A = this chain, B = another copy of it.
């Protein structure tokens, strides 16, 4: 599709095709969809994106996305402030929150150490995490990072940084996913789930 009848359309298609997973054809479909909507709807759509980018704050404690200086989780007095779950992005905060199994606080690193992608420890919110621990009151740090080389490297780096503090460091359990057939599990996961075996309660 190269014969755009309008520069404005071509420009919008080019912009929409910058979104992840959106090619030129999908972008055209999205642009034509937006053209069919009411002006007010399209305005609301564009404004919601501008507001997100320009008005959103990051919690000054945990670096989670927030509408205020301190996020809802950090400012909630019923949460357990002595436990901090370390995650890569706000997506993982939302995932852990959805489990409803965790009542502590978070710390959002903003990524993992990855020399291949040029991500250094100083690019991440590691110093601020160490600062939180140094302030005292935190008894346990839980790593909820991806089981990749980058995730493991990041956990190891942070654990070393925290070794002189009186804080327990744990990592979420790796194992066979609930509902997964054992025969289809990979040997690395199966191996770890055997090493990390739990007492069977009857």
Interface of A toward B, CB cutoff 8 Å: 1-9, 11-12, 14-16, 18-21, 26, 28-35, 37, 39, 41-56, 64-67, 71-73, 89-91, 93-95, 97-98
Give the docked Cα–Cα distance between A35 and B90 (Å).
Answer: 11
Selected A-B contacts with CB under 8 Å, 11 pairs: A1-B94, A1-B98, A2-B98, A5-B65, A6-B66, A8-B55, A8-B67, A12-B49, A18-B45, A31-B52, A35-B53
Contacts of A3 in B (CB 8 A): 93-94, 97-98
Q: How far is the CB of A27 from chain B (nearest CB, A)?
A: 11
Query: Which 9 pairs across A and B sit closest by C-beta, in order of nearness?
Result: A3-B97, A12-B52, A15-B48, A42-B53, A46-B46, A12-B48, A15-B45, A6-B65, A46-B50
The chain B residue with its CB closest to the CB of A91 is: B32
Which secondary structure characterizes the binding site on chain A? helix
Total copies of this chain within the assembly: 2
Q: How far is the CB of A29 from chain B (nearest CB, A)?
A: 7
Contacts of A66 in B (CB 8 A): 5-6
Give the docked Cα–Cα distance between A45 and B31 (Å).
Answer: 12
- With most chain B CB atoms within 10 A of its CB, the pick from A6, A47, A55, A98 is A6
Q: How far is the CB of A50 from chain B (nearest CB, A)?
A: 5
B2, B7, B20: which contacts A29 (Cβ < 8 A)? B20
Contacts of A98 in B (CB 8 A): 1-3
